[in-house]
Amino acid sequence: MLSIKAKVLRLITRPFLYTKEGGDVQYLNIQGETRSIRVLKYLPPNQGKHPVHINLHGGGYTLGVADWDNFWCRRVADETSAVVFNIDYAKAPEYPFPAAIHDVRDVIASLSGDPDLDLSKLSIGGFSAGGGLACAYILYCMQNDLPIPKLCLPTYGYLDASTPYSEILAAVPEEVRAKSLPTFLMDLFRQSYTTDYDNYLVSPVFAPDDMLAKFPRTVVLTGELDSLHVDADKFADRLRENGVDVVHHVYEGAAHGWTHHREGEQNYNGKAKEESLALMIHEIKRLHDTA
């Protein structure tokens, strides 16, 4: 039943996914441990050895495509000189947890032999579920003695699957509930992805202190009118309490998905969109200058 619901939602939402503004994109198929992984690669305009940025799109681990983030990935490549790999990771319920994490692992592992890539300047980020996945991958690296990215950028990340979404909504003001994702959708995402809700690779906000203390510099961006900001803000606080270098900003009047809303669309917030994207560009460039 979950699979049928997910497929119906994909059919309904696919025509509304804005996938333009990517410019020159290379489409790759990288062989992972268990499947071929679709990856979009964006090259910067200059020649030479380049830093790497990994992008992970949103969609509740169930919906969406990497192409949704074309506009952002092209901007990162053009403005930071990083090569961007935008991973179309495995979707639930067909590929439940931890398949998406393994896809990220396998793609990054495949880059290690490329002489044109500087993996000492590796950043990783994502939107919504992609933000949660970026944080989960860093924890996975700690578990498995893998190189940890030098910068993490979860934007309106989904970081707590252990708390039923109805409880998360009940804890925020009505004006936030009115702008937040609907319960039926979040319940489908949560149930499709896993039942191991307390696993900190699913709910990074509950990772132990000794692991949070090993996080790289982390840029946590949340929206005032998004119910998910409560746990993402808590995650930023826990990182800071454990000595991590954290940049944390709550954008006034911003609803979930504000980075992708276009002018004329419901919940469009141009100020929050441009300021948050510019901040992430600044942080990625900062990594390249200091690493």
CATH number of the structural domain spanning residue 50: 3.40.50.1820
> Half-sphere exposure (CA, 13 Å, Cβ side) for 161?
28
pLDDT in tens, 17-38: 555 666 789 999 999 999 999 9
Specify whether the CB–CB gap between 18 and 261 falls below 8 A.
Answer: no
Peptide bond into 93 cis (omega under 30): yes
Number of structural domains found in the chain: 1
pLDDT in tens, 179-200: 999 999 999 999 999 999 999 9
Residue 203's domain comprises 2-290
What is the pLDDT at residue 24?
A: 85
Total-model pTM: 0.94
Task: Estimate the crossing angle of helix 99-110 against helix 129-144, to 10 degrees.
Answer: 70
Mean pLDDT, rounded, for 237-263: 98
What is the pLDDT at residue 149?
A: 99
Structure-block tokens of residue 188: 């489908």
What is the pLDDT at residue 221?
A: 99
pLDDT at 220 over 90: yes
Q: What percent of the chain has pLDDT over 90?
A: 91
* Alpha carbon distances (Å) from 203 to 34, 218, 268: 24, 17, 28
What is the pLDDT at residue 2?
A: 54
Q: Label residue 39 by pLDDT band (50, 70, 90).
A: very high
